[in-house]
Amino acid sequence: MMSRSHSFARVAAAVLAAALCSTCLDNQGPQSPRRWTTPSGLVTADPPALLTGAGDIGSCAVTGDEATALLLDGISGTVFVTGDNVYENGTDAEFADCYDATWGRHKARTKPAPGNHEYNTAGASGYFNYFGAAAGEPGAGYYSYDLGDWHVIVLNSSGGTAGTNVSMAKGSAQELWLLADLAASSKLCTLAYWHHPLYASTSGTGSGGITDTKSRPMWDDLYAAGVDLVVNSHRHFYERQAPQKPDRTPDPVYGIREIIAGTGGNGHHGSENVSANSELRNSDTYGVLELSLYADSYTWQFVPVAGKTFSDSGSAVCHAAQGSVPSVSPSQSTLSASPTSLAAGSGSATITVTVKDDAGNAISGATVVLAATGSGNNLTQPSGTTNASGVVTGTLSSTVAEVKTVSATANGTAITQTATVTVTADSTVSPSLSTVGASPASLAAGSGSATITVTVTDTGGNPVSGATVVLAATGSGNTLTQPTGTTDATGVATGTLSSTVAESKTISAAANGTAIFQTAGVTFTAGPVSASRSTVAASPTSIPAGSSMSTITVTVKDANGNPIGGATVALAATGSGNTLTQPGGPNNASGVATGALSSTAAGSKTVSATANGTAITQTATVTVTSAVVSASKSTVSASPTSITAGSGSSTITVTVKDSKGRAIAGATVVLSATGSGNTFTQPTPTNSNGIATGIFSSTVAGSKTISATANGTVITQKPTVTVTGSP
């Protein structure tokens, strides 16, 4: 295999590509290309390659494979299978009948590995016949391919009952091929998959799991070459093991991570006898392992079938082979920033990293990845690997004012030293990002005040201190207290607004002469009813007794003269004979409510009012005058006009009107008749329609003329009632 240090140059190229674009990461419009951030912190325009699959999959006797195939339908990229792909023996018929309709839907994008069940058929012929060239050379079944920036190796652990197994022993054809393949690859990141895991948990009692030693020579070669990940199945469960050496010694820096994904759908095995480096296990969930392969790292995610909740995810950075590059010293390496202070949105700090080994010697060709705390950062990664002096540089700028801590890794090793860059706010006021607020947003006029808070920020949203703020408000009756000083360290200045006039006010502000776009609203409402400021009026102030009315208008106000809407008004009037019509509901927004007064009794009427139970000081006077009866307009009628002497009676109806034909209520009516033997039942005063009725009878036959007076006025009309003798 090529020197793994050469592959760092390929990552450096990826870093360079990201760095060339990194200045456009912030403040881009919707047309900006998508960027991805790898687990190492590298920002790149290249999406990860997707590799998804599992092992121990198909059978005509189960349905789990149907559920996992549905997962693949929704995941793009390349599909892998790690053996025992169809049960029981991997025959042509089983692939056709029990695999093709499920996982076979993705055959065109599948990179397969065989398992022991395929080798229950001699030479795994059903497997090779089904997958064809994608399965590698028949009789071998091992091959490799590149996927994105990754090199992927597929091995054959066979192990079936047909006696045609492919050896994985040291010096075997497969092992020699593997050595040559590793030597030929220039990729930093490499994974391998086959069926039988070297180490696995298992069912039953005991501890330490189970070891399948036949793949140990392969592990030796893979570890020596710096391979990152191995995926297997055979055990019908999901298990993730920590990075380890071939001898099972934990090795978090150069070790191989092993993931077992025997979850394709064909039954479950127990995993209670736990392997030494096992980090996670599940024995009751079918699903697929989805790998996202970046240029310098990878993520994994176990995706469960519908209805199950178990999942697993994580990430790791690719590593070179142990000893292929000098070891970075976290303490000897250095990191610095210059300048250490800059304005938000303008200028940048140069970040200088010097990478050294434990002896203090410079390490050239190291890949450095920078990171910074805080938000709004534009962190330009170094454009290449470290030079002969071990030095590489990047830059940091930011739109957010705060203290940033810059850190770095070199070849994946975190450098102990960090650098601090203080980003200060720009003094330019942003009219769109600065804000104006009011609290409370509603209060009674003449009582209390609203606090007006202005927060002044620059174009990066950073607070601007020391700014002079001037407030303004619409409307009248305002008392606007300006801020007592300039904005504080958080960009805030406050003032107050009070008002004696009930209305909605709009408050605006300018900071350092720049008008802030945002405004605040404060609604001043009317206060309690003022007995002295509220009014009562009558129109007209004089009406004739009877049906005429005076409109009573009550205007309710607070102590500042603001109209009070929604108040309940009740009217009262002195004197007798009054008809007082109360307002039809609460008063309107102008504080006005109206009622009416009429009266049948002449005299001076004093009208008073209460509003929300408060007696209004002002009253109104309405003079009710006596009505003048019109002799000609008033009428007198008799019904019937003929009665029998001594037994019959006639109803006399008198309608009293004035000269305009308006009914006069409360008039005193007196009836009389010509002739003798007459008897009258005199009327009561006229009603609201001016009508009064009496009863006439007589014991003496003859023609009787009926007369009436109203309030002493003789009515012109005189009906005749004929009284006939008894039969």
Which residues contact residue 727 at a Cβ distance below 8 angstroms, ignoring those fewer than 6 apart? none
Q: Contact 190/225 with Cβ under 8 angstroms? A: yes
Q: Contact 19/268 with Cβ under 8 angstroms? A: no
Give the pairing type, strands 542-544 and 620-625. Answer: parallel
What does the alpha-carbon distance between residue 496 and residue 507 come to, in Å, rounded to a whole number? Answer: 10
Burial of 2 (0-12, 13-18, 19+ CB in 10 A): middle
Position 115 scores a pLDDT of 97
**Whose structure tokens read 């090779």?**
128
Q: Nearest CA to 90 among 131, 62, 51, 53?
A: 131
3-state SS track over 633-652: CCEEEEECCEEECCCCCEEE
| Count of CB atoms situated within 10 Å of the CB of 306 | 9
> Tens digit of pLDDT for each residue in 474-490?
999 999 999 999 999 89
Range name among 527-536, 658-667, 668-677 with the lowest pLDDT average: 658-667
Rg (CA), the chain: 51
What does the alpha-carbon distance between residue 604 and residue 540 come to, in Å, rounded to a whole number? Answer: 13
Calculate mean pLDDT across residues 509-514: 95
Q: What is the DSSP letter of 657?
A: B
Bridge partner list, 348: none
Integer distance in angstroms from the first to the last C-alpha of the chain? 151
Q: Structure pTM?
A: 0.51
What does the alpha-carbon distance between residue 380 and residue 562 come to, in Å, rounded to a whole number? Answer: 63
| Count of CB atoms situated within 10 Å of the CB of 532 | 10
pLDDT band at 32 (very low <50, low <70, confident <90, very high): low
Dihedral sign, CA of 136, 140, 141, 146? negative
Mean pLDDT, all residues of the chain: 91
What does the alpha-carbon distance between residue 100 and residue 81 come to, in Å, rounded to a whole number? Answer: 13
Position 164 scores a pLDDT of 93
What does the alpha-carbon distance between residue 15 and residue 368 come to, in Å, rounded to a whole number? Answer: 9
Residue 173 has pLDDT above 90, yes or no: yes
Q: Nearest CA to 662 among 552, 542, 544, 576?
A: 544
What tokens were used for 417? 């030293």
**Whose structure tokens read 């408050």?**
507
With respect to CATH, is domain 535-625 assigned 3.30.565.10?
no
> Tens digit of pLDDT for each residue in 624-651?
887 789 999 999 999 999 999 999 999 9
3-state SS track over 474-499: CCCCEEEECCCCCCCCCCEEEEEEEE
Please give the full DSSP string across 375-394, using - where no structure is assigned. SSEEEEPPSSS--TTSEEEE
Position 603 scores a pLDDT of 87
Tell me the CATH architecture of domain 435-525: Sandwich (2.60)
Q: CA 396: distance to chain centroid?
A: 32
Position 627 scores a pLDDT of 78
With respect to CATH, is domain 49-317 assigned 3.40.50.300?
no
Compute the half-sphere exposure of residue 269: CA atoms within 13 Å on the CB side of its CA: 23
Position 427 scores a pLDDT of 78
Q: Contact 698/675 with Cβ under 8 angstroms? A: yes
Q: Contact 227/190 with Cβ under 8 angstroms? A: yes
Residue 727 has pLDDT above 60, yes or no: yes
> Tens digit of pLDDT for each residue in 345-365?
888 999 999 999 999 999 987
Q: Comparing 49-317 with 334-381+390-424, is the CATH topology the same?
A: no
Give the pairing type, strands 256-261 and 229-232. Answer: parallel
What tokens were used for 18? 């990201």
Bridge partner list, 693: 653
What tokens were used for 39? 């687990």
pLDDT band at 41 (very low <50, low <70, confident <90, very high): low
What does the alpha-carbon distance between residue 432 and residue 440 come to, in Å, rounded to a whole number? Answer: 23
Position 296 scores a pLDDT of 87
Residue 27 has pLDDT above 50, yes or no: no
* Amino acid letter, 249: T
Position 580 scores a pLDDT of 96
Position 12 scores a pLDDT of 36
Residue 492 has pLDDT above 90, yes or no: yes
Calculate mean pLDDT across residues 109-123: 97
Residue 4 has pLDDT above 60, yes or no: no
Give the pairing type, strands 492-499 and 450-455. Answer: antiparallel
Q: What percent of the chain has pLDDT above 90?
A: 79
pLDDT band at 143 (very low <50, low <70, confident <90, very high): very high
Position 538 scores a pLDDT of 96
Which residues contact residue 120 at a Cβ distance below 8 angstroms, ignoring those fewer than 6 apart? 88, 89, 90, 160, 161, 162
3-state SS track over 255-283: CEEEEEECCCCCCCCCCCECECCEEEEEC
Q: Contact 175/156 with Cβ under 8 angstroms? A: no
Q: CA 612: distance to chain centroid?
A: 44
Q: Contact 718/636 with Cβ under 8 angstroms? A: yes
Residue 577 has pLDDT above 90, yes or no: no
Question: Phi and psi of 601, rounded to 5°?
Answer: -110, 120
* Amino acid letter, 245: K
| Count of CB atoms situated within 10 Å of the CB of 622 | 26
Q: Which CATH number fits domain 635-724: 2.40.160.40, 3.40.50.261, 1.20.140.10, 2.60.40.10?
A: 2.60.40.10
Residue 18 has pLDDT above 50, yes or no: no
What does the alpha-carbon distance between residue 722 and residue 153 come to, in Å, rounded to a whole number? Answer: 135
What does the alpha-carbon distance between residue 398 and residue 379 come to, in Å, rounded to a whole number? Answer: 8
Give the residue extent of every domain in the chain: 49-317, 334-381+390-424, 435-525, 535-625, 635-724
Residue 231 has pLDDT above 90, yes or no: yes
| Residue 134 zone, left/alpha/beta (φ > 0; ψ -120 to 50; rest) | alpha
Dihedral sign, CA of 193, 197, 199, 205? positive
Residue 21 has pLDDT above 50, yes or no: no
Q: Nearest CA to 210 among 263, 177, 258, 145?
A: 258
Calculate mean pLDDT across residues 698-709: 96
Calculate mean pLDDT across residues 671-682: 96
What tokens were used for 588? 């309107």
Residue 29 has pLDDT above 80, yes or no: no
Tell me the CATH architecture of domain 334-381+390-424: Sandwich (2.60)
